[in-house]
Structure 1
Amino acid sequence: MSELSTLRPATLATHTNYAPWEAYQRPYVRDLAYVLACPNVLTEWLDFAPHQNTHIVSVHSASFWQQQFEAYEQRLEELDTTKAYQDLTRFLLTRPSPNRLGFHFEGLLSFWLEDGFARKLHPYETLANNVQLYNGKQTTGELDLILYNHEEGLTEHWELAIKFFMGSAPFAPINWVGINSNDNLQRKMTHMQTKQFRTVWVDTEKHGQVRIDKRYGVIKGRFFLPMNRANSRHLDMPTWLSPSFPMHKWCDKNDRDNLATIDMNSLRHAHYIEWFTRRGFYDLRQSRQSQISWPDNNTLPTTGLYFEGDRPIVIYPEQRDQKNNES
């Protein structure tokens, strides 16, 4: 399927009102609820390597993730209100590189998979994770999760990605780009399909060699629309983009007209972990610091994530509309 797929209308309100994780108080519980309740960015996998004889890749529907969230809600409440929270924190903090966003995402999903399976809340048994791939003695990559689906009797490979991308027209996968401009959705999907998803047999420590029956790309995060477009009542979005995927705003740091519309009295720079969910305890620290005061002086904002009250907004270093529009 072409990346420039048929467009459909979608209102911004459909995206921004989707925040059931805000009900939880403890930071890691909010993150875990976010990881479960957030749908996959994709409604279908887009094949950017049709001539490389790769395997079929699937995606879970938004309703699948909603069902997993609802099935786990009682446990989320327990984690949020009792000493059971220590089970989650110990699990996350004993994993490698817990402060890196990608590893944090993987840790949250891994906790849910193991904890939920033990409680019979889903059918996915973890057979292996972070499986190293080798070419001779050289490491060439790794596979995130190898699971056995007891409901369907299938061994599944889930490859994970947490992405925070700024979009520009025409909103094809190549037009969703990270703070690092070399990182975009099309590039990530192509890498997953042509590298990790090529694997057929996996050696596991406890279950021996297993054959992968099905492959799932699990791509979550937040997308940010250009501020001038995000303020429109209606916006055409591609059919491959989940209509309930969390959508927010980004602004070119030199765009003083749109910067002038931001409430500077409520604006604060976000900490790195808040790409997942906002930490309210950072608000008091911000109130003790000097107030951000552009565009009334010559100081331009630095690139990064901010909060305007409760709403995330990214300040990007340059205007991206009409760039990277190759088909």
Structure 2
Amino acid sequence: MSKIIAQPLSTHVTNNAPWEMYQRPYVRDLAYVLACPNVLTEWLDFAPHQNTHTVSVHSAHFWQMQFAAYQQRLEELDSTNAYQVLTRYLLKRPSPNRLGFHFEGLLSFWLEDGFARKLHPYETLASNVQLYNGKQTTGELDLILYNHQDKLTEHWELAIKFFMGSAPFAPENWVGINSKDNLQHKMTHMQTKQFRTVWVDTEKHGQVKIDKRYGIIKGRFFLPINTCNFTYPPWLAPSFPIHKWCDNTDMTNLATLDIRALRAAHYIEWFTRRDCYDGRQPQVAWSNDAMPMPTTGLYFEGHSPIVIYPEQRDKTHDKF
């Protein structure tokens, strides 16, 4: 897989990226996790003959409502010592420096903190529930919740994805850092593995029966840099963050980027940019004669994110 470089569709995305209004990095990440819609408008069944359960998705409107209901608390976390509650919660969790676990930690904090403040109806019954076949561990379930509004026990399975798209932009054409990972594969795995569970043993609530299942897939997608008049597939949320990518051998399109202005980013900035890293790292070396590309990773050109995908997945980038 070639190294690729990506840039946003537009530099000023504040209206579509309300998380940018917050100053503290974990608050910005938390706002991103809430305000970013699910990539899916509907669940696509890629295993119709395997007798699996129905899987639902939350609408973009649902996440807008959750973000709006939690905004006052976000402002408090962003401007008072309450921020320490959030940081301690996240840092005491297993593997807090892996993006998938960070995503899970942020959603778990919102679920617990928001329920305690009566900002939503979801009570956490269990998380990271281990699945066994005899004595062998076969997987785990992310979140088991009780929806007090609908009187249902819900299973939420989470994924944070940064996928590169190519025509015809079907789910299998959105590929991750590891070329074997794509949206269709992830959805099929969730549906045929985690979402097959019916009964769950919890430590504090005994055995519970799952009434409803939700797939929560968020992140960022990238289009080829020369894509014109991109039409969103009906399954792709039109407000989902979309940026652009460019292969490192595409010198014509690379010439449109100010490579000398790139600032190497910390890995966790796949979520949101951290101002604290500005000025700490040298700009990327660039020679018009040799035309070397920057090393793989995430970069910023000013406030605009630019991504160079590595040929192989770094284990710190996600949880699988």
Q: Could you tell me the TM-score, scaled by structure 2's length?
A: 0.91
Which residue does the alignment assign to 2:80? Answer: 82
Instruction: Give SS of 1:238's match.
Output: coil
**Structure 2 vs 1, CA of residues 291 and 203 (structure 1 numbering), >3 Å: closer, same or farther?**
closer
For residues 1-327 of structure 1, the aligned pairs below 5 Å read 16=13, 17-229=15-227, 232=228, 234-286=229-281, 289-316=282-309
Offset, 1:264: 2.5
The higher-RCO structure (CA 8 Å, 6+ apart) is 2
- Cα distance in 1 between the residues matched to 2:307 and 2:115: 37
- Cα distance in 2 between the residues matched to 1:187 and 1:241: 16
Q: Output the amino acid matched with 2:143.
A: L
Offset, 1:290: 4.7
Matched-pair contact (CA < 8 Å) for 1:252–1:317: no
- Cα distance in 2 between the residues matched to 1:165 and 1:295: 30
Instruction: Give SS of 1:117's match.
Output: helix
Offset, 1:295: 4.8
CA RMSD of aligned residues (A): 1.5
Q: Output the amino acid matched with 1:279.
A: R
- Cα distance in 2 between the residues matched to 1:282 and 1:266: 14
- Cα distance in 1 between the residues matched to 2:197 and 2:287: 51
Gapped runs of 5+ residues in structure 2?
Answer: 1-8, 312-320
- Cα distance in 1 between the residues matched to 2:81 and 2:246: 41
Aligned sequence identity (%): 81
**Structure 2 vs 1, CA of residues 94 and 317 (structure 1 numbering), >3 Å: closer, same or farther?**
closer
Gapped runs of 5+ residues in structure 1?
Answer: 1-11, 319-327
Offset, 1:179: 1.3
Matched-pair contact (CA < 8 Å) for 2:267–2:297: no
Which residue does the alignment assign to 2:317? Answer: none
Instruction: Give SS of 1:92's match.
Output: helix
Instruction: Give SS of 1:228's match.
Output: coil
- Cα distance in 1 between the residues matched to 2:44 and 2:288: 41
**Structure 2 vs 1, CA of residues 314 and 60 (structure 1 numbering), >3 Å: closer, same or farther?**
same
- Cα distance in 2 between the residues matched to 1:102 and 1:212: 24
- Cα distance in 2 between the residues matched to 1:255 and 1:131: 46
Q: Output the amino acid matched with 1:264.
A: I
Which residue does the alignment assign to 2:5? Answer: none
Matched-pair contact (CA < 8 Å) for 1:166–1:225: yes
Tell me which moved more, 303-312 or 111-120. Answer: 303-312
- Once the two structures are superposed, what CA deviation does each residue of 1:143-168 show, in whole Å capped at 9, x if it has no partner? 00000000000000000000001111
- Once the two structures are superposed, what CA deviation does each residue of 1:251-279 show, in whole Å capped at 9, x if it has no partner? 11111111110023432222110000011
- Cα distance in 2 between the residues matched to 1:317 and 1:117: 39
**Structure 2 vs 1, CA of residues 246 and 213 (structure 1 numbering), >3 Å: closer, same or farther?**
same
Matched-pair contact (CA < 8 Å) for 2:199–2:210: yes
Which residue does the alignment assign to 1:9? Answer: none
Offset, 1:193: 0.1
- Cα distance in 2 between the residues matched to 1:296 and 1:176: 34
**Structure 2 vs 1, CA of residues 310 and 168 (structure 1 numbering), >3 Å: closer, same or farther?**
same
Matched-pair contact (CA < 8 Å) for 1:253–1:316: no
Q: Could you tell me the TM-score, scaled by structure 1's length?
A: 0.89
- Once the two structures are superposed, what CA deviation does each residue of 1:96-116 show, in whole Å capped at 9, x if it has no partner? 000000000000000000000
**Structure 2 vs 1, CA of residues 151 and 283 (structure 1 numbering), >3 Å: closer, same or farther?**
same
Q: Output the amino acid matched with 2:114.
A: G
